[in-house]
Amino acid sequence: RVELVRGPSSSLYGSEALAGVVNIITSAPQDGWSGSYSVRGGSFGSTDLTAEAQVGLARGGLRLLVNRYASRGYDLTPNSFGQTVPAFSDWTADVRAHAEVTDRLRLSLGVRAALQDQDGGFASFDDQGNEVRFDNEARRVDWRIHPAAQIRLNARLRLRATLYGARYATETQAFRQRDGSLYYEDDFDQRLTRAEVQTDAIWGQRHLTVLGAGMTDER
């Protein structure tokens, strides 16, 4: 299901959720093993391959998804060197797991990783008006991990602790075709770590008190 929370009450989902939250809740794995796969193809040599497996137990569950999306790109200006959209391949893996360790303790884990490789080219002109061609390579790495624990202390008190880590990095290089020399290079690397602890006190059907603390480290 999808929950839409408007206004400051969405701060229950974290310190950066003061205006609203769209909470997408996936279904829990059913009892036993199951799996599925899909294969799609399209224009410009695009392929979309997905495989998913899940297992549901009495007190837990695990889901794994792997996807590969790729294309050979396309060119809207065939008279000039280099494609408008270069060829690329994109791999994504996603793991979701949860376990009811005891009647009072619930653990969950979410892990996602994505890797994209891109190959293209472009051309420029030197001072004499000669065309100079370059090969362009790019890579993107994107991953996140999100473990969480929920402890029911008693009928009224509930404690939740979460840790979120993420990294997003890109690297682009251009090489001159005629001699293979490095012409251009750039790198971007962003890392985020966030830890939060939250205590919920339930007073009745209409009243809830929340007290929490958190730390964010971004580089």
Per-residue pLDDT at 50:
97
User: pTM for the whole thing?
Assistant: 0.80
Band the pLDDT of 11: cuts 50, 70, 90: low
32 contacts: CB under 8 Å, gap ≥ 6: 55, 56
Per-residue pLDDT at 6:
86
For residue 198, count other CB atoms closer than 10 A to its CB: 18
Q: What is the pLDDT of residues 195-212, one digit of tens each?
A: 999 999 999 889 999 999
Q: 33, 55 in Cβ contact below 8 A?
A: yes
Question: How far is it, in rounded angstroms, from Cα 51 to Cα 69?
Answer: 12
Nearest to 41, CA basis, from 22, 68, 21: 68
Residue with tokens 């964010």: 216
Query: Average pLDDT, stretch 75-84?
Result: 87
> What length is written for the chain?
219
Strand partners, 154: none
158 contacts: CB under 8 Å, gap ≥ 6: 150, 151, 152, 199, 200, 202
Q: What is the pLDDT of residues 179-199, one digit of tens each?
A: 999 999 999 999 999 999 999
11 contacts: CB under 8 Å, gap ≥ 6: 17, 18
- 14 has a pLDDT exceeding 70: no
Count of CA atoms in the C-beta half-sphere (13 A) of 149: 11
Question: How far is it, in rounded angstroms, from Cα 39 to Cα 92?
Answer: 15
Question: How far is it, in rounded angstroms, from Cα 89 to Cα 219?
Answer: 28
CA dihedral 100, 17, 26, 162 (to 10 degrees): -30
Band the pLDDT of 15: cuts 50, 70, 90: low
Structure token pair of residue 132: 């100079």
